[in-house]
Structure 1
Amino acid sequence: MKKILIVYHDAGGGHRNAAVALQTVISQESRDWRVELVQFQDLTDQLDVLRKLTGIRIQQQYNILLQNGWTLGSTYLLRLLQGTIRLFHKPLVNLLENHWRENRADLLVSVIPHFNRQICESWTRVYPGRPFVTIITDLADFPPRFWIEPVKDQYVVAGTEKAAEQARAMGHDSAHVFQTSGMIVRPDFYAADDSEPGELRKRMGLQADRTTAMVLFGGHGSKVMLDITERLDAEDLPLQLILICGRNEALATRLRSRQWKMPVHIIGFTREVHQLMRAADFLIGKPGPGSIAEGMIRKLPVLIECNAWTLPQERYNADWVKEKNVGIVLKSFKDLVSGVKHMLDPATLAEFRGNVAAHNNRAIFEIPEILATLLGESNPTTRPAIPTPSANVSR
């Protein structure tokens, strides 16, 4: 039995989601592999400078910034973090080397940015010739030293042509660059769902035949959701909202304490987002790669914002939405009402839905085949049929 390690952390929810999704799909297939997850923050806590100074881990600092919208100037903070990583390069490599020696494996996968040079260098010192794979969970890299490193031993899995081009520009040859049809998304988003959207809405206390937007800002929510709800509630729009607050219980409490004129359904943390999306017509949120990819699979156009407050690694995502014509990109949610009115136009919404339906992301099922190739398994055994999600385009 071959062993695969997947390195993730909890700065945002997307990295853990990607790791768990890949582990889940592999476990459902008839492969002689054992997959173990490695929490990078737990592994490297002793070198966490921010934790030593503030008592708060790096990943917690990041999530606090997201929850409160404190993201202006995030490029400067990002480069400061990367400079700190370079200062601690040698002790970090040594620490990781010791871990790999104690936890032997045949292949190492990283679904996190920033640390791939240290992970790759430590891995290849201990196991020269054994593959190290970085799966980019953003639609594009944000060079330098974000996802793709100029090291020959790094294999790169890219979910867009843009990211694949960046890997090649960094000097990686075609044998080290694999392009998939999209981002990693949990396999349950692909589950066929023939439930009636109107019935789902009624169970939530919403109107069965009213256009419905899901407001989603990742697993930790964002206080901007309150402002979004206030702006839309002040207008007499034929609209209702499903508000996903994630682990931000303070936000959920504030939203529930208000009396809203428009129908709303407020939810805290849930693992049923894929089912709730069946009740929605479009998605309102930040330009996060995970939310956009989930919306595409569940056939939902998106309405997002992109400006100086947008995380630098997520700005290309807005360009991708415009390029594929699968939604609306606003410079500010101050223009939200006009954006929603445009989305509510039947012809506009139908056009977006058609473009979304043409997007066929199967990355979560493609990546195990890539790993099998790198492990030298050129003749994989029979796999279970890949599920096809419901079209979800007629409401």
Structure 2
Amino acid sequence: MGASHSATARSRDKQPEQEGLLLPTTATSPSPRAIERLNAEPPIHNDMTAITLPPTPTASVDQEKPFHVLVLMSDTGGGHRASAQALDAAFDSLYPSRSQITIVDFWTSVAGFPFHNFPRQYSYIAKRPWMWKLVFLWAAFPPTRWLTEAAFSLFCHSKVRRYFEAHDPDLIISVHPLVNTLSLSVLAAIRRAKRAPPPPFVTVVTDLGGAHPTWFDPRADMVYVPSEPLHQAALEAAVPEDRIRLFGLPIRPAFWQETRSPAQLRVELGMALNIPAVLLVGGGDGVGGLQAIALAIAARIAENCGSSAAQLIVVCGKNKSLLNRLQATSWPIPVILKGFVKNMSEWMSASDILCSKAGPGTIAEAWIRGLPIILTGYLPGQEEGNVRLVTESGSGEFHSQPDDIAECAAKWISDPELRAAIAERAKSLGRPRSCLEIASDIWDIAEQRQRERDAFRLRMLTSHSQHVPNGYIAMARFYVTNGLRSMQRGFRSVFRYSAVETVGPRE
């Protein structure tokens, strides 16, 4: 890929970098090949034990040509890119030198104008919850959702089609809700034009307890969900049950490769060794009223437990002004202040309590590390379900006011038995193998589709010439057929009509 856009095409001799999870379900189980391969691995535990990766399985794809995987994401929040990089790492671990991964920001580098500023607009809106909720509801309400998707198609269909045809991927993975409808419509148009089976398209949902309806499109070959609530949401969106898999969130490799003990990590990170640690984070942008929360936690612990009873680590992200203000503050307990960090796995491993907004990846990572969670805020609509999952599972509490957050932290610091019980419940929800399970299952789907595509090409090469209809007749048939299909999709979107029996597998 050229340097003219921000797509990240990585050769497999490099090591990538982020998000797992959840409750028992009756969702469709992994494929037999995936089960056999993953059961052959030694068991993985939620402690610091290293994961031994399985031997590379035999593939049916061409060994001379790397399998090209296109991952569609957008930098609207750090979780989508982190999930893409986690899948990249999993493919590299399971299938070294046999897969070529291209991670591309769909709206910036593929769809382009007038939607190329989505990442910057997201950062602005996410800091204003009322505005975020308005945008969330706009894209979820069927009539306005249909208008939005019509605008996406009007401005971007041809650009997305040119990109797909130019790169000709063997597999497409979506880790962003707003790319699914447009991408699948483009693939359907390519299939009709070329009369050939397209590459498989799978969706990996990176939300946790609740998800926007645009995540779920019945035309996808497979939809990977991290929790039972999202399994139900996929069924309600008319996704066939045999095309839903429940594994967990794709999590950064550091969370399934760490071998150092918490004591070793504390020494390396410069933390006190023998007192509990409270880790306070506000995402990559350092939002969520971190200053007031940090001051309240430090004061309450010092008052209730003593000035040497605990330590506080505050990760300010890219918020440099916040970091400067906190550095100028006098603290009553030991405090470590950090800006943007790339080793969150180490900080979580070395800590005893996590305070964070209800981001899905952060919750999943805390579960893997067995951290009691104090949720301090959430994005309306998108993250409300995450709060329910944490509180109902007993792995944490939700408090929005700094004084209440501080009281909860001080209570857990002063009661080690209570803290240990909550940590055990959190640990039981961790899914450190989720990323490997997803990658293995996707690979099986891709291999099967590749065999079908190869067989189709062979039939086309060996079959007799087909009758080509008159050009005017073909053109009229194309426009009439597509007009009827557009009317049908519009009817279903506006009136939320979707019958599972009308949704067949993609060719």
Work out whether 1:144 is the aligned partner of 2:210.
no
Aligned-partner Cα distance in 1 for 2:288–2:418 = 29
Aligned to 1:162: 229
Aligned to 1:340: 409
3-state SS of paired residue (1:234): helix
- Alignment match of 1:120 (pick from 180, 184, 194): 184
Work out whether 1:26 is the aligned partner of 2:26.
no
What RMSD, in angstroms, separates the aligned Cα atoms of the two structures? 2.3
- Where does the alignment leave 5 or more consecutive residues of structure 2 unmatched? 1-65, 140-144, 192-196, 450-507
3-state SS of paired residue (1:114): helix
Q: How far apart are residue 18 of structure 1 and its match?
A: 0.5
Aligned to 1:358: 428
Q: Once the two structures are superposed, what CA deviation does each residue of 1:157-188 show, in whole Å capped at 9, x if it has no partner?
A: 001111112112221223311111x2111011
Aligned to 1:64: 124
Q: How far apart are residue 129 of structure 1 and its match?
A: 4.3
Q: Which amino acid aligns with 1:144?
A: P
- Alignment match of 1:110 (pick from 165, 174, 191): 174
Work out whether 1:78 is the aligned partner of 2:140.
no
Aligned-partner Cα distance in 2 for 1:35–1:46 = 21
> 2:152, 2:182 within 8 Å by CA — same for their partners in 1?
no
Superposed, which structure 2 residues align to 1:175-194 within 5 Å?
Answer: 175-180=242-247, 182-194=248-260
Aligned to 2:393: 324
TM-score, structure 1 as length reference? 0.85
Aligned-partner Cα distance in 2 for 1:45–1:225 = 36
Q: How far apart are residue 377 of structure 1 and its match?
A: 5.3
> 2:255, 2:345 within 8 Å by CA — same for their partners in 1?
yes
3-state SS of paired residue (1:133): strand
Aligned-partner Cα distance in 2 for 1:228–1:206 = 20
Q: Once the two structures are superposed, what CA deviation does each residue of 1:329-351 show, in whole Å capped at 9, x if it has no partner?
A: 22444421222133222222111
> 2:225, 2:231 within 8 Å by CA — same for their partners in 1?
yes
Work out whether 1:37 is the aligned partner of 2:103.
yes
**Cα 1:241–1:313 shift into 2, 3 Å:** same
Aligned-partner Cα distance in 2 for 1:263–1:221 = 20
**Cα 1:196–1:171 shift into 2, 3 Å:** closer
Q: Which amino acid aligns with 2:323?
A: A
Q: Which amino acid aligns with 1:148?
A: F
Aligned-partner Cα distance in 2 for 1:178–1:196 = 33
Aligned-partner Cα distance in 2 for 1:46–1:359 = 39
Aligned to 2:22: none
Aligned-partner Cα distance in 1 for 2:317–2:69 = 30
3-state SS of paired residue (2:397): strand
Q: How far apart are residue 111 of structure 1 and its match?
A: 0.4
Aligned-partner Cα distance in 1 for 2:107–2:325 = 31
Aligned to 2:292: 227
Aligned-partner Cα distance in 2 for 1:75–1:142 = 13
Identity of aligned residues (%): 25
Aligned-partner Cα distance in 2 for 1:350–1:5 = 42
My pick for the range that moved more, 169-178 or 74-83, is 74-83
TM-score, structure 2 as length reference? 0.67
Aligned to 1:195: 261
> 1:141, 1:148 within 8 Å by CA — same for their partners in 2?
no
Aligned-partner Cα distance in 1 for 2:190–2:165 = 7
**Cα 1:44–1:294 shift into 2, 3 Å:** same
Q: How far apart are residue 258 of structure 1 and its match?
A: 1.8
Aligned to 1:383: none
**Cα 1:86–1:366 shift into 2, 3 Å:** same
> 1:154, 1:176 within 8 Å by CA — same for their partners in 2?
yes
- Where does the alignment leave 5 or more consecutive residues of structure 1 unmatched? 52-56, 379-395
Aligned-partner Cα distance in 2 for 1:140–1:186 = 19
3-state SS of paired residue (1:88): helix
Q: Number of aligned pairs? A: 364
Q: How far apart are residue 108 of structure 1 and its match?
A: 0.5
Aligned-partner Cα distance in 2 for 1:153–1:274 = 32
Aligned to 1:133: 202
Q: How far apart are residue 216 of structure 1 and its match?
A: 1.5
Aligned-partner Cα distance in 2 for 1:319–1:141 = 9
> 1:8, 1:40 within 8 Å by CA — same for their partners in 2?
yes
Aligned-partner Cα distance in 2 for 1:334–1:99 = 52
